[in-house]
Every structure is written in C-alpha cells, then in structure tokens.
Amino acid sequence: MSTEAAARIGRFTLDNGLRIVTAPAATGQVAAVNLWYGVGSRFETPGRTGFAHLFEHLMFQGSGNVDKGEHFDAIERLGGEINASTSTDRTNYFETVPAHGLDLALWLEADRLHTLREGVTQEVLDNQRDVVKNERRQRYDNVPYGTALELILKLGYPEGHPYHHPTIGSMADLDAADLEYVLSFHERHYGPDNLVLTVVSDLEDADIRERVERYFGRIPRREELAVAPDASLEGPIGGPRREVVTEECPAPAVYLGYRVGEYGSREFDIMHLAGVVLGQGQGSRLYRKLVVERGIAVDDGGAAAFPLPFRYTPSLLMFSMFAREGVSGEELTEAILAEVEQLAESGVTAEEMERARALLERDHLQGLSSPSMLADALGSCEQLFDDPALAYTWPDRWASITAEEIADVAGRLLTAENRLELRFEPLTPAE
C-alpha cells in the first residue's frame, strides 16, 4: 500500500524555491491546501519568544489586498474549513475547500505571503498581542496544570536553548514586541523558499502546478535568510531534575520525561513504541497496573504516555497520570517509576509489541484518512525530511523494531540521570 500510494505523489519546485507536493484525494470534489513554513519557536531567542505563534494570528488580520477577517470569510462562504497552528519546528496554515474554490484559496495564501507587511499596523499588532496574551492566560496561567508544558521544557532543555520555552512565549516578551521587529520577522521567515505547499485533490498535477505558478511564481525569494539558534544537545538531562508546583488543582498530577532521539531517528521510533507499551491504551502496563489493579491513578482511558517530537534536537518521551482521591503525588510518582524501570530492566513481550504496533498503525491510518490530514502529513514530511513519501512508511519502520532494541535503548535512556520530574500538588485549606 505504501509503495502504491507513494507513487502517486507529485513533487515540483518553482524557480523561487517554493516546493509543491500533490496527491490524489480519496474524496472527490474537494481540495485540501496545506502550507508548512519552516519557522517555529526554535528560531526565537531569549527576550523574543512567542513571535512565531503571534504571526499565526497576524496572518489572518489582513494584507495588501485583503481586509481584516476577509480571508476567513471568503473560505467559509465557500463552505470550506480553515485554521492554523504553530509548533517548535514549523508554522502551518491549512484549508479545505470545494474543488472550484482552489483558485481563491491559493490567491489568498499567495497574497498574504507577498503583501502581509502592507496590512500589519501598530493597531493590528496591539490587538493581536492582546489576543495572544489572553490565550496564554486561558491555556497556561489560569487553568489547573496549565503551566505543565512550559515547566517540562524548562526542565528538559537548558536555559538559552531554543527548545527551552513554549511557542506561546512569555508575557514580558509579547509586551516588548515592536512593529519593526515583527515586520522583519515576516521578511526573514516568510518567503516561497521557506514554504512547502501541498494540494490533495482530484485535479491533475500539471493543473495544480500551473495554478500555483500563476499565484506564487512572482513572489521573490527572501533577501535575508533566518538562521536558527544552535539546538544541538548531547547526553542525558542530568537528572533527576525535579520541580513541585503547589496550586489550586483537583488532584496531584505527575509528569515524568526522558530525553530520547530526535523525531525521525530510529531511537525515537524505538522509544515511541516503548511508550505505547507502557502508557497508551487500556491494555498498557500503566493502565492495567495503576488504574485497574491498584486503583491509585485516575482513569484516563489509556493516555499516560506521549512523545514531544522535535526534529532538530532530542525529543522527550513523557508519562503523565493523575492521582485518585487519597493518593499522594509522591506515591503515584514511585508507582510510575517502578513500571518504567521494570520495562528498562526486563524489556517487552511479543504480545505487547504486537499490540503497540497495532495501536500506532491505527492512529497512523486515521491520520491519513481525510484530504486535509493527508495533505498535512505529506507537507510535514517534505518540510522536515525532504521526503513526502515518508508519510506512508511509519508502519514499516515500527514493524522492523525488535524487542531486543527496545530493551537496549530503554536500559540506556530510561534512567534517573536522563529523567525530569514535575509534580502538581493541590493547595491545602490552610494554604
């Protein structure tokens, strides 16, 4: 299946460096348009955090030929869907429209790439800065456990490292954002030579290429290329590195993390599989032992393990659970650690390997099941690995991993020296 699907991928590069990826849609009459810009929070420096995400907002606030809000309105009037997201390694814009709306979607995207700086004013910046600051309050500062990701990154990566901070940025840095720097950020990062544009539809490749050339071909390359701060990192975390947060929250929560290989490496795949054995699904060790047998963790449906995948620096393999009433965070921490250490010492069984592979493959296939999700997967693999066909190969990679490899890598990486520990404890009435 993977070979047949990969053979249907089209790849082109315009003279200005814009890369185009195409693939047929399983559902006809729609076109999924997906843009991956090679800019994320890893390009930000101390004192300038939050800019990549801020730009995700600014990109919808009007450009040289499109007024504020019109991009959303135009797509939604077609019955289409539109959104965007930002991570450490990229900023992603995507929309799905009826096939007859493809030209409009491409024109809108080309216009804001080419002329956005004509539409960004101090008023627009101030408005969107407030929106982002409010988002930070709602998602990070004013909700239980909201600062977990920010603290995990601080524990996992040294101060000054480009992955030390979350994409949302700090309030102080957002306050310090000035119009001149914001405009220069767009100039250095938003160019056709830093963009992968993926279209999944039932249109011919030549047709798509001609349309993209028509709208994007006149946009020049960037004059100044952005340089990412050095993200190289060797060795373990230097732990266990611990932090305990006492705040208003319903129950103790435990987060344990281990530094593993960068996203795309075999070491990452091996630890991803190990994480599924331990903490994904109701058949996982953590669910069976701590939720069902001992009853000390809240029933999370089997979501205790998750990777934080980073392409350009070591990733993190995370384990997280919430304590049941009457159970302390310390007790839950020790219980999770015991299961992690047991895997590192004894490895995994063939049955566990089979279950983990099945879960990953199911999620993988679901992730390719719609035109929008397929476009996102292809665009990500082109931008991060220069190989869109990689999107179809993950099941083969997981199938090739052996139990011996898991035991070897787990024994080397799932250690105290390579561990971060974050715990949230509820305030007591006296506090």
Average pLDDT over residues 202-226: 95
The pLDDT tens digits of the residues spanning 355-398 come to 999 999 999 999 999 999 999 999 999 999 999 999 999 999 99
> CA 28 to CA 6: how far, in whole Å?
19
pLDDT of 431 higher than 80: no
Contact present, 66 and 111 (Cβ < 8 Å):
yes
What is residue 5's predicted lDDT score, i.e. its pLDDT? 84
- At residue 119 the predicted structure's pLDDT band, cuts being 50, 70 and 90, is confident
Q: How far is Cα 346 from Cα 84, in angstroms, rounded to an integer?
A: 43
pLDDT for residue 6 is more than 60: yes
Cis link prior to 240 (omega < 30° from 0)? yes
Percent of the chain with pLDDT over 70: 99
Tens-place pLDDT, residues 14-53? 999 999 999 998 877 999 999 999 999 999 988 999 999 9
Task: Tell me the CA distances in angstroms from 64 to 52, 108, 111, 155, 177, one per residue in order.
Answer: 21, 11, 7, 43, 22
Rounded to an integer, the average pLDDT of 156-185 is: 93
Please say if the pLDDT value at position 74 is more than 80.
Answer: yes
First to last CA, the chain: 59
pLDDT grade for 224, boundaries at 50, 70 and 90:
confident
Tokens of 159: 């101060």
Residue 430, pLDDT score? 63
d(CA 335, CA 289): 9
The residue written with tokens 């997201």 in the block is 85
Helix (H) or strand (E) holding 211: helix 205-216
Q: In this structure, are residues 192 and 113 in contact, taking their beta carbons and an 8 Å threshold? A: yes
Average pLDDT over residues 163-176: 94
Contacts (Cβ under 8 Å, ≥6 apart) of 305: 275, 276, 278, 279, 280, 284, 286, 317, 318, 319, 320
Mean per-residue pLDDT of the chain: 95
1, pLDDT greater than 60: no
Characterize 319-346 residue by residue with b for buried, 16 or more Cβ atoms within 10 angstroms of its Cβ, and e for exposed. Answer: bbbbbbeebebeebbebbbebbeebbee
pLDDT tens-digit readout, 24-34: 988 779 999 99
Report whether pLDDT(177) > 90.
Answer: no
- C-alpha–C-alpha distance, residues 33 and 155, integer Å: 37
In whole angstroms, what is the distance from residue 255 CA to residue 154 CA? 13
Question: Which residues are CB-contacts of 363 (< 8 A; sequence separation ≥ 6)?
Answer: none
Token duo for residue 407: 């035991």
Per-residue pLDDT at 2:
67
Residue 356 CA: distances (Å) to CA of 245, 268, 275, 339, 348: 33, 15, 9, 16, 10
Minimal CA–CA distance to 317: which of 277, 345, 289, 352?
A: 277
Q: Is pLDDT at 131 greater than 80 in this prediction?
A: yes
- The Cα 58–Cα 116 span in angstroms is 9
- For residues 201 and 77, the answer to whether their CB atoms sit within 8 Å is no
What pLDDT was estimated at residue 198? 98
pLDDT in tens, 279-329: 999 999 999 999 999 999 999 999 999 999 999 999 999 999 999 999 999
For the segment 256-282, the average pLDDT, to the nearest whole number, is 97
Q: State yes or no: pLDDT of 82 exceeds 70.
A: yes
For tokens 């024994």, what's the residue? 411
Report helix, strand or coil for 33: strand
Q: What is the pLDDT of residue 35?
A: 98
- Three-class SS state of 162: coil
Buried b (16+ CB within 10 A) or exposed e, 295-307: ebbbeeebbbbbb
Confidence grade of residue 143 (pLDDT, cut at 50, 70, 90): very high
